[in-house]
Structure 1
Amino acid sequence: MLQLRFVWLLSIATAITLFPHSASAQNKYDTGASDTEIKIGNIMPYSGPQSAYAQIGRTEAAYFQMINDRGGINGRRINFISYDDAWSPPKTVEQARKLVEDDEVLLIFGGAGTQTNNAIQKYMNQKKVPQLFVASGGRKFGDYRNFPWTMGWLPTYETEGRIYARYILDNLPHGKIAILYQDDDSGRDYLKGLKDVLGEDATKRMIVAEISYDLSEPTVDSKVVALKSSGADIFFDEASPKFAAQAIKKAAEIGWKPTLFLASISNSVGAVLKPAGLDNSQGIISSNYLKDPTDPTWRDDPAIREWSTFMDQYFPQGDKTSIFTVYGYASAQTLVQVLKQCGNDLTRDNIMKQAANLTHFELGLLLPGIVINTSPTDYYPIEQMQLSRFKGDHGELFGKPISGRTGME
C-alpha cells in the first residue's frame, strides 16, 4: 500500500515538474521570435528625394512603442528595427540583408517604395522571410503564385488608375489628358489602369501628352510647361510628394488651370498641398481609402480621436496634417492583428498564413464601407477607394467607395 502511494506521489511530482516544459513546447518559433520578443525589420527613406514618407516609419515605431507599453503582443515585446535606404534600390538590398542575416528579424514589414521593394522581392522569397504589407501599390506585390512571401497593403496603382478613368469617361468624355508620371513600375501601373478602362479608342483620342520624370531630377517644372503646350484640359499628376507639389505649383504659375487629378500617394495636405500652395490646390481630385485628419467630417470620429491622442502622447513631433501618419498607424494596426492571430505559432509560414486570412477586417481609420479582405489567392488587402475634391484646406469626399479590381488574379 505504501509502495502504491509512493508511486502515485512520484507521478504527481513528475507531472508538475514537466508541466511548464509541456506548455513551452507548444510554442513554435522561427528566427526572430521568442517567449519575450518579436523582431520586426523595416526599411524607409529617412533621407533622399522621398523623405516625406519617413513619417510612415516614425509613426510605426511610435505605435509599436505604445503596444509594448501596453504589454506587447501575447506578452511579447516588439523590437522594431528600421533602417534608411534613401530610396536607393542597392541600399535597400544592403539593408534587407542586414536585417535578415545580421539582425535576424522574423519579417520585414511596411518597406516603402516600388523599385526599392522590387529590388529585394526575389531575395525575400528565396529566404522565405515575409515581406509583409509593402508600402507600395505595385501590382506585383500581390502576385501570390510567384512571390508567396510578399504582400502589399494599399490599393494597387492600377486600381486607382481605373477609378480615375471611369470618372473621366462619365464626367469629362471630351477632355484632353496630359500625364506626368514617375519613370518606374509605379508610374507604368497607373498608366495601365487608366488606359485599360479608357479603352484603345478613347486612349488614342483623349491622351495628348505623356511625360515621365526620374527621381534624380531636381524639378519637373519644364515638364509641366511642355504638358500645358499640348492643349490638355485634364492633368493627371502621378508624381511622388516632392514632385507632385512642384507640378501643382508650376501649373498655377504658368496659368494652366486643367482639371487636375492627383495620385493618392501624394494626397497629403501637410506634405504636398501646403507646399504647393493651398490656393493652387483648389479643386484637385484625388482618391482616398483612409480618413483625412484635416477633413472636419472626422473631427468627432472615434478612430481619428484615438489616433490624435496617440500622436500627442507617442509622436508629438509628427505631422497631424499628413496622411502618412494615418497610414503608418493603420498599417501597424494591421500587422498587430496578424501577430495576434498567430498566437504562439510565430513561424514565418504561419505569419503568411494569417496575413492571408484577414476576413472583413475593419480598421477605424479606413473610410466607411472599406474593409480588409485577404485569402491564400488574394494578396490585395484593400481594393476600394473613394474620390475627393480639395476645397478650402481639406479634401471633401464625394460618391461612394469604388472598386477598381478587374482582371487581377
Structure 2
Amino acid sequence: MHRIARRGIAIAAALTLAAAVAACSDEAPSSDGGTTENVPGVTATEILFGTHMPLTGPAAAGYSKIAPATKAYFDYVNKNGGVHGRQIKYQIEDDAYNPANTQNLVRKLVLEDKVFAILNGLGTPTHTGVLDFLNQQKVPDLFVASGSRSWDQPDKYPGTFGFQPDYTVEGKIMADYVKKNFAGQTVCHFGQDDDFGRDSLAGVEKILGASGVKEKQKYVATNANITPQIQAFKTAGCQVVISGTIPGFTARALGTAAQLAFKPQWVVSSVGADNLTLSGLLGQNKGLLEGLLSVGYLPVSTDDSNPWVQLYKKVNAEHNANAPFDNNIMFGMTVGYLTVQVLQKAGKNLTREKLIEAVQSGGFKNAAAGPYRYSKTDHSGIGGMQMGKISGGAQAAFGPVLETDEADGAVKEYTEKPTTPPGNGVPQA
C-alpha cells in the first residue's frame, strides 16, 4: 500500500516536472495552434538572411549593386514595422564570383552565423557548388540570382527556388523574336562556358534548331581575351549574335567586335544588358550600345511613370545612399519585396518548413512582368519576358510580354498586367 502511494507521488511529481519544463522551453503553444520553435536565424525580434555576391571580381560590374538594394528595401520595411514584428537582417558576403570562395562563405553563413536562409546567392558556377550542402542542411535557398535550370529540381533540391526566368525560357523568347524579325539571316550564339551558356543555347535551338545556329562560341569568366571567339563569328558571316553573357563580357564582345570591324545585331541576355552598367564599362565607346536588343522581366529603371520605379527610387534615396539607379537595383529590390511577401504568408510562427510552404503556395504578384510559377512541382520562378532596345542612349521595353516553358511549349503572349505597390510600399499578409 505504501509502495503504491509512493509510486503515485513519484508519477505526479514527474508529470509536474514535465509540465514545468514545457512551460520554460522554447517551444510553446502559439495563438494559431502551432508552435514557436527555436529556429536558426529567427528570434522574437529578428530574421537573419545571408547571401554570397560578387562585390569584387569579374562579375562585380552591376551585380555588386544587387544585394545592397535588397538590404535597402529590407531597411525600408524595418522602418515601417518589419514583418510580424520582426526586423529583417541581411548578411552579405563577397565571393568575387569564385566558386571556391562561395563554398567557404556559405558554410560560414550556415554553420557559424546560423542564418535562417540563403537569399539570392548570385551566379551559376558559384551557386551550383553549394546546392547539395544547403539542401543537406535543410536551409531554404531562396531566389537564386541566376537563370540556371538547376534550381528547379524540387525532388532533388526541395529547398531551392529560382527567381528570374531561366536561361532556356530566355533563349526561346530571344530566338522567337529573331526568327520573326531577322528571317534568312545567319544566327550565331555566344555563351558562358557553364549552365548559363548551355541553357541559353538550348533555348535558342528549341526555336531555330541546331542547324539554325551556324557558329557557337564560349568564354570563361577568368579569361578576358575573347578575340578568337569574335573573329570566328566574323569569319562565319554571323549577322545576328544571341549572347548569354554577364555585363563584363557583353562589353568586351562589343568592343572586340568594333576593333575587328564586325557589326552584327546583338541580342543579349537580361543578365548582361543593363544600359547604365554597360555604358560605364564602355566609357567613351558607349555608342556601341546603339541598337542592342535584349529581354527583360522587370520595369526598365528609367521609366519614371512606372509605380514600381517610383517606389524603388524612393527607397534607394532613403536607404541606399541614392546610388545610380539601374536595372540591378530594380532586381535587388524586387527580390526584397518578394521575400517580404513570402514572410507575410509564412506567418508569425516562422519556421524553415513554413517558409518553403509559403513559396510553394504561389500566387505572388509584384513588379515582375510575367507570372511567378512557384508550386510544389515547379521551383523555377518568373515565366515571362519582354523585348527591349537601346536607342538614342536610352533603354526601353517594347512589344508584348511573352511566356513559355523550358520544354517544347510555344512562345505566347502573356496578357495579365502586373499589380501596383500598396500606398506604403510594404506588402501585407
Same fold (TM over 0.5): yes
- State which of 138, 162, 165 in structure 2 corresponds to 1:155: 165
Matched, 1:92 2:92: no
Question: How far apart, CA to CA, are the structure 2 residues paired with 1:274 and 1:257?
Answer: 21
User: Which residue number in structure 1 is paired with residue 50 of structure 2?
Assistant: 41
Deviation at 1:286? 0.6
Matched, 1:318 2:323: yes
Please give the per-residue CA displacement for 1:238-276, whole angstroms capped at 9, x wherever unaligned: 211111111112223333221211111012111114533
Report if aligned partners of 2:300, 2:396 keep a CA contact under 8 Å in 1: no
User: Which residue number in structure 1 is paired with residue 374 of structure 2?
Assistant: 374
User: Which residue number in structure 1 is paired with residue 254 of structure 2?
Assistant: 248
Report if aligned partners of 1:221, 1:246 keep a CA contact under 8 Å in 2: no
Question: How far apart, CA to CA, are the structure 1 residues paired with 2:394 and 2:231?
Answer: 27
Question: How far apart, CA to CA, are the structure 2 residues paired with 1:261 and 1:285?
Answer: 5
User: What TM-score do you get using the length of structure 1 for normalisation?
Assistant: 0.88
Query: Taking structure 1 as reference, are residues 65 and 408 closer, same or farther at Cα in structure 2, changes over 3 Å only?
Result: farther
Question: How far apart, CA to CA, are the structure 1 residues paired with 2:112 and 2:185?
Answer: 54
- State which of 211, 216, 224 in structure 1 corresponds to 2:222: 216
Deviation at 1:335? 0.7
Please give the per-residue CA displacement for 1:193-224, whole angstroms capped at 9, x wherever unaligned: 1112212xxx32x3221111111112323422
Amino acid across the alignment from 2:76:
M
For residues 14-25 of structure 1, the aligned pairs below 5 Å read 22-23=29-30
Give the root-mean-square deviation of aligned CA atoms.
1.9
User: Which residue number in structure 2 is paired with residue 362 of structure 1?
Assistant: 365
Deviation at 1:236? 1.7
Question: How far apart, CA to CA, are the structure 2 residues paired with 1:406 and 1:222?
Answer: 31
Question: How far apart, CA to CA, are the structure 2 residues paired with 1:224 and 1:29?
Answer: 55
The residue matched to 1:345 in structure 2 has which SS? coil
- State which of 203, 220, 243 in structure 2 corresponds to 1:237: 243
- State which of 282, 301, 307 in structure 2 corresponds to 1:302: 307
Tell me, which stretches of 5 or more residues in structure 1 are unaligned? 1-17
Report if aligned partners of 1:29, 1:345 keep a CA contact under 8 Å in 2: no
User: Which residue number in structure 2 is paired with residue 284 of structure 1?
Assistant: 292
Amino acid across the alignment from 2:60:
S
User: What TM-score do you get using the length of structure 2 for normalisation?
Assistant: 0.84
Deviation at 1:178? 2.4
Deviation at 1:377? 1.2
Aligned pairs, number:
378
Report if aligned partners of 2:30, 2:349 keep a CA contact under 8 Å in 1: no
Query: Taking structure 1 as reference, are residues 238 and 26 closer, same or farther at Cα in structure 2, changes over 3 Å only?
Result: closer
The residue matched to 1:399 in structure 2 has which SS? strand
The residue matched to 1:92 in structure 2 has which SS? helix
Please give the per-residue CA displacement for 1:256-311, whole angstroms capped at 9, x wherever unaligned: 221211111012111114533442111111101011112xxx22222211111111
Amino acid across the alignment from 2:360:
A
Structure 1 stretch 144-153 or stretch 277-286: which is displaced more? 277-286
Deviation at 1:346? 1.4
**Percentage identity across paired residues of the two chains:** 29
Query: Taking structure 1 as reference, are residues 385 and 305 closer, same or farther at Cα in structure 2, changes over 3 Å only?
Result: same
User: Which residue number in structure 2 is paired with residue 349 of structure 1?
Assistant: 353
User: Which residue number in structure 1 is paired with residue 149 of structure 2?
Assistant: 139
Question: How far apart, CA to CA, are the structure 2 residues paired with 1:334 and 1:408?
Answer: 29
Question: How far apart, CA to CA, are the structure 1 residues paired with 2:304 and 2:65?
Answer: 22
Matched, 1:184 2:194: yes
User: Which residue number in structure 2 is paired with residue 50 of structure 1?
Assistant: 59
The residue matched to 1:217 in structure 2 has which SS? coil
Please give the per-residue CA displacement for 1:176-199, whole angstroms capped at 9, x wherever unaligned: 122221111111000111112212
Report if aligned partners of 1:237, 1:247 keep a CA contact under 8 Å in 2: no
User: Which residue number in structure 2 is paired with residue 14 of structure 1?
Assistant: none
Report if aligned partners of 1:26, 1:344 keep a CA contact under 8 Å in 2: no
The residue matched to 1:108 in structure 2 has which SS? strand
Please give the per-residue CA displacement for 1:55-108, whole angstroms capped at 9, x wherever unaligned: 001111222222222221111111211111111111111111101110111100
Deviation at 1:23? 4.5
Query: Taking structure 1 as reference, are residues 23 and 213 closer, same or farther at Cα in structure 2, changes over 3 Å only?
Result: closer
Structure 1 stretch 59-68 or stretch 349-358: which is displaced more? 59-68
The residue matched to 2:299 in structure 1 has which SS? coil
Report if aligned partners of 1:238, 1:263 keep a CA contact under 8 Å in 2: yes
The residue matched to 1:405 in structure 2 has which SS? coil
Question: How far apart, CA to CA, are the structure 2 residues paired with 1:230 and 1:198?
Answer: 17
